[in-house]
Amino acid sequence: MNGVPGAAGEGPPREPAYDLIELMFFAYRDFVSDPDHVLERFQFGRAHHRVIHFVHRHPEIRVADLLDILRITKQSLARVLRDLIEQGFILQKEGQADRRQRLLTVTEKGQALALELARLQTERFTRAIAASGTPRDQAVRFLYAMIDPDAREEVTRMITQAGRAVPQKDR
């Protein structure tokens, strides 16, 4: 149809879609490169970025919920959280109803970092959407379709809770 393996109406691809796979790798590489430079100032990595992002977007998130979102081990999260707490980006407190729960929230310093990183990535999205001529809602639908079908409902709930609606079409 349009030369892209597996495009609508062509059925499943016979050969791997190397062009799309490699474009995704390179797009991701560059998408995270801007924040990577900022994170270097603090000797933080991409795991720190993901944690600060989700804690910022979901104040008082439970550690257990963060583990579910990130799909990492407790040990990996503990190391990253220790760095973020020690450097004053995240606060951890006990839950009010259940003192065994650990609730996470960003500090003012953490909020400033989260916003700086999000603005860099928003600028890259804005440039890419403008350069591609793709309407934003189509880009959102495409990314949403990349998520495993059994996780879409939870992702929709989480994104909607954090203040951004996911398009209803193609759910």
pLDDT of 168 > 90? The answer is no
Yes or no: say if 22 and 4 are a contact pair by the CB < 8 Å rule. Answer: no
CATH number of the 18-133 domain: 1.10.10.10
Residue spans of the domains in the chain: they are 18-133, 134-171
Cα distance from N-terminal residue to C-terminal residue, the chain: 24
For the segment 131-139, the average pLDDT, to the nearest whole number, is 93
Rounded CA-CA distance 71/139 in Å is: 25
* Statement: residue 169 has pLDDT above 80: no
pLDDT score for 2: 46
pLDDT over 90, % of the chain: 78
Q: What is the pTM of this model?
A: 0.83
| Average pLDDT value for the chain | 88
